A = this chain, B = another copy of it.
Amino acid sequence: MPKTPRRHQEDLASLFSLGFSALNEELHERLNELGFGDFRPMHGFLFQGLIPDGATAKTLVELLGISKQAVSQMLDYLEERGYVVRKPHPSDGRGKLVVLTERGQALMKAKESIYSTIESRWGAIIGNDRLQMMRSDLKRIIESVSEGDAPKKLRPSW
């Protein structure tokens, strides 16, 4: 019974993508168990822009690389479900400051904890030193890439 040839993805793009998928799928499974089932993968990218002090929609647009209307819709969704609030902006009357609610912060805490569990499991596989190496090498590469160019969008586009 010739089952699943299990072809090997060798190129870095596939490896990054699979690595991300692995992290992300487990994260959202766990979050779902914790009652955050309405939090979708894309929202994680947005949340990255909200720590530690909140952000304007403008900032999120730049971070995510999507239209401001799309950001606004996502914020509606997240606000309805109690993850974020739009406050008036302290210094700019046009703008609004989006901040995490208690619930949003609880989710971020859960996220940290879940990631750290996964990462320590990964550390057991390749060694903690190697995992740290990977992290710091990746950081260097990404810094270097986003130097000359326009800074890369956090969210991959496809």
Contacts and interface: CB of A to CB of B under 8 A. Distances in A.
Contacts of A156: 17, 20-21, 24, 41, 156
Size category of the A interface is 35 or more
Interface in A126-158: 126, 130-131, 133-135, 137-142, 144-146, 151-158
Per DSSP, chain A at the interface is helix
B153 A15 contact: no
A10 interface: yes
A41 B115 contact: no
A81 to B, nearest CB: 17
A71 interface: no
Interface in A1-23: 4, 8-23
A11 B138 CA distance: 10
Contacts of A15: 135, 138-139, 142
Contacts of A22: 141-142, 145-146, 152
B42 A158 contact: yes
Nearest to A139: B15
Nearest to A158: B41
Nearest to A8: B139
